[in-house]
Structure 1
Amino acid sequence: MHEYPVLIATEFEDPTADLVIGELNKRKVPILRFDPGTDFPANAVLAASTNSGGWDGRLTVGGRSADLSQVRALYHRRPSSYLLRDDGQVARFVMQENRRGLGGVLGALPNCLYLSHPQAIARAEYKPAQLATANRVGFRVPATLITNDPAEAVAFSTTQPTVYKPLHAGSYEVDGEPAGIWASPVDPEEITESVKECAHLFQAQVSKTSDVRVVVVGSRFFCARITAPPGVVDWRSQYRNLSYEKVPCPVEIQQAILRFLSEFGLRFGAFDFSVTADEAWWFLECNPNGQWAWLEEAAQLPIAMAIAELLENGLTK
């Protein structure tokens, strides 16, 4: 492979990554796409050695190889988790060695731009950290309670309209089919002793007229207003019934977003806001590796081009 490749770590089927790869191909940027969790070690070979600058050596996947000392950027998109082959202690040991070995080298490449660094992404996925940071950088943040105490949950939801949200958007199935756990209104009488089973996030419901997703790539902002049917709390449950409008991002929101990203060490973020009738923007969450591909066409936002440009330039800008 030619010098200065871009590594793209993502799962086998990822149409979002495909958009970025298409843009990089137009720019004739060399690419090595792989899925660390499933390609290594069966389809990949790592040979990394320390030097005065950090690491050199090669990562070979299939018939393609990249010089680790020459990597210009790593796009940590959505790689699979490192596979646990069985329930035995040897398999657990192997899985952890792979994650810390290959994952550790990929996270310590010299002169490499990370979009974003895997450890920064992992830290930013914790909603309690997000909400604390959002308050600190100046966002409006709805009152929030995280608890496993049913009495506390009842007391909180009695004082204002309240929604329940999962703390982690993991995989979930209903009758064998993939499903989502959306933010949903909750009444005090619905709260049972089952709250004791795990941590729950309850949040004051914003009386919104629309939502906004802001996708940030480096220092570039791509902003779309999302309007759902009346009464819909979580627009993600109604993709077929949404309308989109490209809108500017207010300067004060941009400034708070950049402070937020800086605190977490991120170069990308997909921010969700609820907007009230008086155009107040309320922070809901930031997905440090959030989806954006459908907004390319729906709101005419050239996000793939911006990501490709950032990856192409590496640390030169």
Structure 2
Amino acid sequence: MAGRVSGPPRRRLRHSPWLYVAPALILLITFTYVPVGNMLFYSFHKWDGLDVTMDPAGLDNYVRVFTDERYWRVFLISLYYFIASFAQIAIALYFAVILSFNTRFRNLFKGILFFPYLLNGVAVGFVFLYLFQPDGTLDTVLRLIGLGEHTRLWLGDPDIANLSLAGTSVWRFTGLNFVLFLGAIQSIPGEIYEAAEIDGANRWHQFRHIIAPGIRRIISLSFILAISGSLAVFEIPFIMTGGANGTRTFVVQAYETAFQFRQIGLASAMAVVLLLIVLVMTWVQRRLLPDEEVNLS
């Protein structure tokens, strides 16, 4: 009687999960971890991106990032976008709560709110560039409604240029938070709302005791995205002002350092510092607002 041959099939079953995830792992390692490793290597060298050889620089690039005012002062510009991100989260949460209930034309409003996020960042920058330019769309509208005296150099005045850019960022990214909130709210079982209405709970009570606890993890995720996004702003200020008039962000500064001044090592050190800051702030946020299992049933 022939014996059973069980080795090869079991071996194939044992290794088959890795065959499914191998393409994703290859892409992740090739386009994420390898570039990060190269960036970390470059940050300890002095290199213009063209020479075949690199000169070791030790920690000089990092010392320069933290001691040269030109490189750390631009972090203050991120505060405009960080504050704007809270307004963005509040607006998205407000409309997500309203449109999660039966509201007339709610599908239309959902599309209107999410549409800006579908647009390319460069296209958004050019649209708002024409909106804010002198005698542009915004100035024309203000004159039509009798507020012509309030026209300003929206992108030329250093006092309000960052406010204009932060407002543009709110318009573009509110749709992302809106979709995240809406999906989380709609995942809450409808029976809970029905039981709350029977007990006499109004919309505010439902939001406070059902919706807010139920989407806590998504709110926490939104804060993480707000922190990382405000520190890594690039497209809008680069397209609309090129970093002029006090609108240069840390990423714009790193871009100019790398591709205009040909200091690849220093720019890599700036990128590593930014990555570490995002990781530390994310860790702090997770410690202050840890995930907790929420059971509303």
For normalisation by structure 1, the TM-score amounts to: 0.25
Larger proportion of helix: 2
Query: Highest Rg: 1 or 2?
Result: 2
Larger proportion of strand: 1
Query: RCO (CA 8 Å, sep 6+): is it higher in 1 or 2?
Result: 2
